[in-house]
């Protein structure tokens, strides 16, 4: 697995772990208020819900939630966000690779003759 994919996967794993922590807070009774539980469970997907509202899909998610268990639209939104998160991690890694490559390219190189002289001197010394 190359570095870009690894960073993309690490973004997804971080997201899954934080979501599991939110569910654990509700499941194990740390958050007991009903409204607070709903808030904590919405934390991992609040950006996706805002996007759904902006593009007009929020009523569809509400209708789907009314027809099925609330977990179905949650899972659709949650799983659908993993791929963009993975691609974001790959993009961040690419930017980092390009920055390192440009830094390496801008580094001054010694003249080839100087390198040969240094090698000869090293051979003479040793």
Q: What is the mean pLDDT of each run of 10 residues along the chain (126 residues)?
A: 84 93 91 88 87 88 82 86 91 80 68 65 68
Residues in the chain: 126
CA distance 18 to 9: 14
* Cβ–Cβ < 8 Å for 22, 78: no
Q: pTM of whole model > 0.75?
A: no
Q: Give the distance, in angstroms, between the CA of residue 54 and the centroid of all CA atoms in the same chain.
A: 22
Residue 6: count of CB within 10 angstroms of its CB: 13
Tell me how far apart the alpha carbons of residues 41 and 56 are, in angstroms, rounded to a whole number: 22
In tens, the pLDDT along 25-56 reads: 999 989 888 888 888 888 888 888 888 889 99
């Amino acid at each position: 697995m190359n570095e870009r994919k690894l960073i993309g996967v690490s973004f997804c794993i971080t997201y899954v772990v934080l979501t599991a922590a939110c569910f654990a807070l509700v499941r194990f009774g740390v958050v007991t208020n009903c409204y607070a539980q709903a808030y904590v469970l919405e934390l991992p997907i609040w950006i996706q819900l805002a996007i759904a509202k902006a593009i007009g899909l929020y009523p569809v998610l509400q209708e789907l939630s009314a027809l099925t268990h609330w977990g179905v639209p949650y899972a659709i939104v949650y799983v659908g966000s993993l791929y963009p998160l993975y691609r974001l991690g790959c993009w961040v890694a690419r930017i980092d690779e390009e920055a390192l490559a440009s830094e390496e390219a801008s580094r001054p190189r010694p003249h080839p003759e100087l390198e040969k002289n240094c090698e000869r001197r090293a051979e003479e010394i040793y």
